[in-house]
A and B are shown apart, each in its own frame.
Chain A
Amino acid sequence: MDGEEENVGPFRRTSARTRRMATRMASALASSDNRAQAALARLEALESDNAGVEVVDLNDDEYGSTDEEDPVLMQKKQSKIMKRKTRQGKALEKRAARSFMDVLQEANLESLPPHVPSYLRAAVGPPSTSSRRHYCSVCGSSANYAYDGVAKW
């Protein structure tokens, strides 16, 4: 579901960041109703890793409990922390935010000749029949009809 982009030729190299935004925007624009957007968000959440937020790292080591008495000193150090956070934070983000999909874009696998097996060609592809069973999202049994009050996946 993540593989196809509309704007890619084999020799075009745009930065990974722009491309990631473009796919999300494109799919959000293509399906303008809330239900489809919710469905897409749900499918992306299936890949989530329970990562959580990371910005507290810089408060660990140096600024322990010794500064709690002096509020002025704390404020000065807070502002230093903020500055450091932005510089170091950016550096951390640059390294950590590289996900596998970014690496895949950079590897530029579409330009390989068709007889070479690659990650993209190994994908199993869509099913042979697109008929699906619908389940009620509240109780899980079969859903025989769609009711607009219930989001039926």
Chain B
Amino acid sequence: MTVGSRVVVIDNGGGLLKAGFGGDNDPIAVVPNCMAKPPGGNANSKKWLVADQLQAEDVDVTGMTLKRPIDRGYLINTEVQKEVWERVLRNLLQVEPTSSSLLLVEPLFNPPALQHATDELVFEEFGFNSLCVADGPSLVHLYEASRQPMLFRAQCSLVVDCGFSFTHASPVLQNFTLNYGVRRMDLGGKALTNYLKELVSYRSLNVMDETLLIDDAKEKLCFVSLDVPGDLHLARLSFKDNPFRCSYILPDGITYKKGFVKDMNEALRYRSLALDEEAKRKEHSMDINKSEDRKKPELSQNEFVLTNERFLVPEMFFHPIDLGINQAGLAECIVRAVQACHPYLQPVLFESIILTGGSTLFPRFTERLERELRPLVPDNYKVKITRQEDPILGVWRGGSILASTPDYESMCITKSEYEEMGSARCRRRFFH
């Protein structure tokens, strides 16, 4: 590697953009991949806030309109993306694109028109030296295999990536994604947030415009239930006995600029519920003395109460048909992905399932998925599911490892090659 030229690794996600330098353990910037404008309406409309400006302490995100460059997971709007990358590259990474190489993570099945647009953005707008395009699942496999080589002796795994725009179950063999076996559910964090917005708007406050706030509420309060009918029963109890009841306070712009959970201890009460049914019934009668003084809802604050929405929202991953979405659930998606592969690979794939992506961070997600998946898999196969330690940064870290391998330079396309041969012929070098 030439001195002074570093590799910029960017994982261009629909929700969060992760950017940093190859070889580092962690990305420097993990910022929302969007631009937002506060609600104004008068002639001098306010400026658009880009990426990390949204995360600042004194910014109140109520009612902001968002512009996302990524639609359904693919980069559509290169102008908005250019603004976000400008901000990230100049202010956060402080790197000069013309003297660096770029490792970009793109989703699979990117249509050629969008590939050309991305190449234009990289080479003509920013002027990077060279570009290498990788896909998420193979990077995750690379990262996990390098951390735990004993577990992945067979060099293949099934990577389940539950992201913002969609969820993919992709078999990976020897660092290549078998793209005939990839199966996609069009559900992700965005659909979950929209569903939670709908439930809250129908039942308490109208929050249909508050994507960022409800995102925050979802991340703090939602969890996956292991027994939905039982939990629905418990959720019908009144105040003190209901272990799921909690409330979220919206910012008012004066005292509170950010939304927050009213009482986190109250929100975590459900964790002490026993997991098997008999103990649950016994505890039910003892719950009366559990909570201390019940806090009265403060009238000056906008707050809404959540009970069964907390676990009904992530339930969408496992049974989309309950909402009327005609798609198979996550367990079936995994089974179909594995069955599309060679029969000799199938038992190995079931034994090495890796969960990644921000939407797997819901508590008890892994256990619930195991319970759903086990009946669908033949008895003589073992099922083992591991979630990455940090599912949001998992793909980026794989990219960082790839960028520091010695033969990284031979995998890139340089700017001069792009200018001579054009985007289509250059893209053939990348296998997807």
A binding-site residues for B, Cβ under 8 Å? 1, 39, 42-43, 45-53, 56-57, 59-60, 63-65, 95-96, 98-101, 103-104, 106-107, 115, 117-119, 122-128, 130-135, 137-142, 153
In the bound complex, do residue B71 and residue A122 qualify as a contact, i.e. CB atoms below 8 Å apart?
A: no
Report how far A21 CA is from B312 CA in the complex, Å.
33
In the bound complex, do residue B191 and residue A117 qualify as a contact, i.e. CB atoms below 8 Å apart?
A: no
In the bound complex, do residue B185 and residue A124 qualify as a contact, i.e. CB atoms below 8 Å apart?
A: yes
Residues A43 and B324 in contact in the complex (CB < 8 Å), given A127-B329, A137-B202: yes
In the bound complex, do residue B209 and residue A124 qualify as a contact, i.e. CB atoms below 8 Å apart?
A: no
In the bound complex, do residue B112 and residue A107 qualify as a contact, i.e. CB atoms below 8 Å apart?
A: yes
In the bound complex, do residue B325 and residue A124 qualify as a contact, i.e. CB atoms below 8 Å apart?
A: no
In the bound complex, do residue B65 and residue A124 qualify as a contact, i.e. CB atoms below 8 Å apart?
A: no
Residues of B within 8 A of A133 (CB): 228, 319, 322
- Residue in B77, B203, B329 whose beta carbon sits within 8 Å of that of A138 in the complex: B203
Report how far A115 CA is from B319 CA in the complex, Å.
30
For the complex formed, measure the closest distance between the CB of A110 and the CB atoms of chain B, giving whole angstroms.
13
Using a Cβ cutoff of 8 Å, how many contacts connect chains A and B? 154
In the bound complex, do residue A106 and residue B307 qualify as a contact, i.e. CB atoms below 8 Å apart?
A: no
In the bound complex, do residue A127 and residue B327 qualify as a contact, i.e. CB atoms below 8 Å apart?
A: yes
For the complex formed, measure the closest distance between the CB of A143 and the CB atoms of chain B, giving whole angstroms.
11
B interface majority secondary structure: mixed
Report how far A56 CA is from B45 CA in the complex, Å.
8
Stretch in B5-13, B176-184, B263-271, B393-401 touching the partner: B176-184
Report how far A126 CA is from B318 CA in the complex, Å.
13
> Is B317 an interface residue, CB under 8 A from the partner?
no
Residues of A within 8 A of B304 (CB): none
Residues of A within 8 A of B112 (CB): 107
The 3 A-B pairs at the shortest CB distance, nearest first, are namely A52-B65, A119-B109, A127-B328
Residues A122 and B108 in contact in the complex (CB < 8 Å), given A132-B321, A140-B312: yes
Report how far A134 CA is from B309 CA in the complex, Å.
14
Residues of B within 8 A of A122 (CB): 108-109, 168, 179, 182-184
Q: Mark B35-68, 1 if CB is under 8 A from A, else 0.
A: 0010001011100000000000000000001111
In the bound complex, do residue A132 and residue B322 qualify as a contact, i.e. CB atoms below 8 Å apart?
A: yes
Give B184-227 interface residues, CB cut-off 8 Å to A.
184-186, 190-191, 194-195, 198-199, 202-203, 209, 211
13 example contacts (A-B, Cβ-Cβ < 8 A) are as follows: A43-B324, A46-B194, A65-B43, A103-B74, A122-B109, A122-B168, A123-B186, A124-B169, A124-B328, A126-B326, A132-B321, A141-B235, A142-B229
Closest to A108 in B: B111
Residues of A within 8 A of B322 (CB): 132-135
For the complex formed, measure the closest distance between the CB of A144 and the CB atoms of chain B, giving whole angstroms.
12
Q: Mark B74-91, 1 if CB is under 8 A from A, else 0.
A: 101101000000000000
In the bound complex, do residue A135 and residue B194 qualify as a contact, i.e. CB atoms below 8 Å apart?
A: no
For the complex formed, measure the closest distance between the CB of A43 and the CB atoms of chain B, giving whole angstroms.
6
> Is B323 an interface residue, CB under 8 A from the partner?
yes
In the bound complex, do residue A49 and residue B190 qualify as a contact, i.e. CB atoms below 8 Å apart?
A: yes
> Is B254 an interface residue, CB under 8 A from the partner?
no
B binding-site residues for A, Cβ under 8 Å? 37, 41, 43-45, 65-68, 71-74, 76-77, 79, 108-109, 111-114, 168-169, 179-180, 182-186, 190-191, 194-195, 198-199, 202-203, 209, 211, 228-229, 232-233, 235-236, 307-309, 312, 319-329, 332-333, 336
Report how far A38 CA is from B332 CA in the complex, Å.
28
Closest to B112 in A: A107
Closest to B330 in A: A124
Closest to A64 in B: B44
Residues A48 and B113 in contact in the complex (CB < 8 Å), given A128-B328, A133-B322: no
In the bound complex, do residue B44 and residue A65 qualify as a contact, i.e. CB atoms below 8 Å apart?
A: yes
In the bound complex, do residue B235 and residue A140 qualify as a contact, i.e. CB atoms below 8 Å apart?
A: yes
Residues of B within 8 A of A131 (CB): 321
Inter-chain pairs besides A47-B191, A48-B194, A98-B76, 10 sampled, C-beta below 8 Å: A52-B65, A103-B111, A123-B184, A130-B326, A132-B322, A134-B322, A138-B202, A140-B199, A140-B307, A141-B236
Report how far A119 CA is from B336 CA in the complex, Å.
16
Report how far A115 CA is from B333 CA in the complex, Å.
20
In the bound complex, do residue A50 and residue B211 qualify as a contact, i.e. CB atoms below 8 Å apart?
A: yes
In the bound complex, do residue A46 and residue B195 qualify as a contact, i.e. CB atoms below 8 Å apart?
A: yes
Report how far A36 CA is from B13 CA in the complex, Å.
33
Closest to B211 in A: A50
- Residue in B67, B113, B182, B328 whose beta carbon sits within 8 Å of that of A106 in the complex: B113
Residues of B within 8 A of A96 (CB): 77
Residues of A within 8 A of B67 (CB): 51
In the bound complex, do residue A117 and residue B324 qualify as a contact, i.e. CB atoms below 8 Å apart?
A: no
- Residue in B37, B114, B169 whose beta carbon sits within 8 Å of that of A103 in the complex: B114
Closest to B203 in A: A138
- Residue in A45, A100, A134 whose beta carbon sits within 8 Å of that of B198 in the complex: A45
